[in-house]
Every structure is written in structure tokens, then in C-alpha cells.
Structure 1
Amino acid sequence: MANIIAFLFGLIALILAVIGFIPLLGWLNWLIILIAGVGAIFGFVSEKNAGRNFCLVVMAICALRLWIGGGII
């Protein structure tokens, strides 16, 4: 059950990440990293790895976007 919750958190974060890739909305990625982090915590509690890995990939994508944009843009 925790794996499904982690996957849902990751899916919501991924949908928001698409919006966060629009120029001048890079600040949204900070929120997305938090949402995916909560999903990753649920994934760590789960016996399976799919939800956790999905959340970690979304976090990495958003962190890369923040790094490219200088943390804000």
C-alpha cells in the first residue's frame, strides 16, 4: 500500500514538474522536491522499490532544473 501512495505522490510531483519547466516558474520545483520527498519516504517504508525510485527520479529531474536555472528561475 505504501508503494502505491509513493507512486501517487511521484505522479503528482511529475505533473507539477511539467509546469515547473515553464520559464519563470522554476521556484515551483522547490515544492515539487518536497512532495516527491514525502513520496520517497513512503517508498522507503514499502517492501517494493518502484514508488521510491520513481520519486527519486522526479526529485533528480527537478534538482537538475533548479541547478540549471540558478535555484529560482
Structure 2
Amino acid sequence: MFNLISILIGLVTLVSGLIAFVPLLGWMNWLVIPIGIVGAAVGAMSSSSNAGRNLNLVLIVIFGLRLMLGGGIF
């Protein structure tokens, strides 16, 4: 059950993150990354499957890199 919730949170993160790729909307990454962290935490609670956790971790890395390239971090 937690894995399914984590995947749904990951899909919300993905859609929000794709919107944040639009120029001048990069500030949304500051909102998207914490949502992904919550999804990864929920996914870590499920011991049977790691798909939701892994999805959220990949999204955190991708959107974190986008934030770094846009000058939002460092």
C-alpha cells in the first residue's frame, strides 16, 4: 500500500517537475524536491517493493540537478 502511495506521489512530483522545466518557473523546483523527499520516505516504509522509493530518488536527483544548473543551489 505504501509503495502505491509513493508511486502516486512520484507521479505528482514528475508532473510538477515537468512544469518547472519551463523557463522562469524554475523556482518550482524548491517545491517539487520536498514532495519527492516525502514520496521517498513513504516508499521506504514499504518493505516488499522499492519501485516508489527509487522513482522518487531519481526525480529528486534530476530536479536537484536542474536547480543547480539554474543557479538555485550554490
The two structures share one fold, judged by TM-score above 0.5: yes
Tell me the residue number matched to 2:70.
Answer: 69
Give SS of 2:63's match: helix
Give SS of 1:23's match: coil
Give SS of 1:27's match: helix
CA separation in 2, counterparts of 1:44 and 1:7?
12
TM-score computed with the length of structure 2 as normaliser? 0.93
Tell me the residue number matched to 1:51.
Answer: 52
Q: Which amino acid aligns with 2:68?
A: W
Structure 2 residue runs of 5 or longer lacking an equivalent are none
TM-align CA RMSD: 1.0
Give SS of 1:44's match: helix
TM-score computed with the length of structure 1 as normaliser? 0.95
CA separation in 1, counterparts of 2:57 and 2:30?
14
Q: Taking every aligned residue pair, what percent have the same amino acid on both sides? A: 54
Structure 1 residue runs of 5 or longer lacking an equivalent are none
